[in-house]
Amino acid sequence: MAKVLFINPVVREEDVPRHIPYGIALLAAIAQRDGHLVQVYDANAWRQGWDVLEQVCDADDWDVVAIGGLTTTYRYIKKACRIIRAKLPKVRLVAGGGFFTSMPLEIMEWMPQIDVGVVGEAFVTFPEILRKVDAGDFDFSNTLGVAYRNAQGKGVLTGVRPNIPDIDVLPWPAWDLFPLDEIYFKNSANLFSEEAFTSKRRIDVNGSFGCRMVCRYCWHLGTTGDMLIEKTDSGANDVVFTYGRNIRYHSPRYIVDMVKHLKQTYDIDYASFIDENLMTMDAASRGTWLKELCALWIAEGLQPTCRRDGVPHDEHCRGVHWNGTSHAGLHNLETLRIMHQAGCSHLVYGLESFDPLIMKNLGKGSNPQKNADSVDICLQSGIKPIPNIIIGFPEESFDSVRNTIVALKKLGITCKPHFATPYPGSEWYYTYKDSIIEQYDGNLEAFIEDLGDASKISAVICHKFSAMELLGLQQIVHQKDLRLLDQAEKHWATADQVTHPVAVPRQSFNFQRSTAATPLATTDEVAS
């Protein structure tokens, strides 16, 4: 069986490593289940130099090195692949994850060291690649969901890999391959709630794949049924992202059994749900999923004792607190109260803006009034709402910024907004791709290397404001200073008459505003 080395790239160097890479841990478990010999080099956890990566390459006679992550890890992955190829010229170098799926043909061109890349969901594709490596068969032209190199070394995309319909068939991630005690549990605490801040042994879990919303800034990269592969005018395959959805969530039994295992094995005291949005999943279940999950959480003894006994949380509390994401238009007080009783400490709300036009065009299914009401409703349940605000939307104006500041002042919220960022795979990215390339002097790869967590400006997609203006507006929103906003408007409001828009929308082959969805696999396809 193949000797497989997974590499988790460094991400968010300005922060400590907080999150075990769920996708890599899951694929590692699948590879182990199939009998392969698996090791992980968690570069993000250890934060060591490139010489350590070279030592890792030399540590064994690897058959496959698998590396992947979000687009924000691109800079590390690119250098790592050069080192891997230099040290291991015969190894099969397999890439995957968001950075690859969003632009597979560009990545194959920019990173000639990659042999084959997984596009979209890898749960069936990656094991198939390993079986072919075991058999000495390196022709991937008939493997669905990959980009491989043809005889001329050019990247070629095969057909779309169907999503698996039942995600309960997946094993639990291989957490034991990662430095839990040495790194991750030491970085358990965060400031979002008292329970989260006092956590000593937090771990991430994932209960679902997908979201029915069509937020223009969001990307799913095939995991939610949003990706097709179609031929371009030149006859070559390329990825196409859509509004299609294959909503899938684990059963409450799967999730609770997994968390019980984590409690019994690692004595965790906190679980962070990294799902795209818990409330959209609950809506997909017609309001039953979260209620059943909470009931089972309590029945199986995971409920924190502070919630069971109705006393303040302190160091004597036992059980497993948790958090996740919510939606201002889909939550309700009854469900939130049940979630609080089961141990939910805080929920992240992507409120984004309080301007009616921006919210209407965003595809989020919410509006300024629902945003405003959501804070009070969540607080009534006992759960802390954590709002997220963005500026720099395509339609951003002085009025929209003013509407947001007025709402923040009324609600008593202070926040430093993120910048609207066109991440690859999102509708924004494809709509403004030409403008992005222009802003980076024709070098798209430079934009990819520049992407971070949206706390800084990369490419601007706002039609009215430049990067310089958005930096100032970020501070004005943070300070909720309507006086400075009024002054800025008096000085700049008529600038549109003599300036050109920074970003101009364009139609793109790679994004279709349709509900065409990725096909679902049959039982035989999953089993094979």
pLDDT of 34 > 90? The answer is: yes
Which of 114-128, 275-289, 484-498 comes out lowest in average pLDDT? 484-498
Going by pLDDT thresholds of 50, 70 and 90, the confidence category of residue 493 is confident
CB 307 within 8 A of CB 340: yes
pLDDT of 27 > 90? The answer is: yes
What Cα–Cα distance (Å) separates residue 246 from each residue in 106, 253, 327?
27, 21, 19
Note the pLDDT tens digit of each residue in 437-471.
Answer: 999 999 999 999 999 989 999 999 999 999 999 99
- The enclosing H or E element of 117 equals strand 116-118
- The enclosing H or E element of 141 equals none
pLDDT of 525 > 80? The answer is: no
Note the pLDDT tens digit of each residue in 202-245.
Answer: 999 999 998 999 999 999 989 899 999 999 999 999 999 999 99
Q: How would you write 343-412 as a 3-class SS string?
A: CEEEEEEEEECCCHHHHHHHCCCCCHHHHHHHHHHHHHHCCEEEEEEEECCCCCCHHHHHHHHHHHHHHC
Note the pLDDT tens digit of each residue in 85-103.
Answer: 999 999 999 999 999 999 9
**3-class secondary-structure state, position 465:** coil
pLDDT of 492 > 90? The answer is: no
pLDDT for position 527: 66
* Beta-bridge partner residues of 249: 208
pLDDT for position 528: 62
Concatenated DSSP letters for 56-71?
HHHTS--SEEEEE--G
CB 422 within 8 A of CB 386: no
| Rounded Cα gap, residues 424 and 100, in angstroms | 10
pLDDT for position 12: 87
| Rounded Cα gap, residues 390 and 449, in angstroms | 22
Query: For the chain, what is the mean pLDDT?
Result: 96
pTM: predicted TM-score of the whole model, two decimal places: 0.95
pLDDT of 77 > 80? The answer is: yes
**Which has more confidence, 525 or 2?**
2
CB 171 within 8 A of CB 528: no
**Which has more confidence, 441 or 527?**
441
- The enclosing H or E element of 525 equals helix 523-527
Going by pLDDT thresholds of 50, 70 and 90, the confidence category of residue 392 is very high
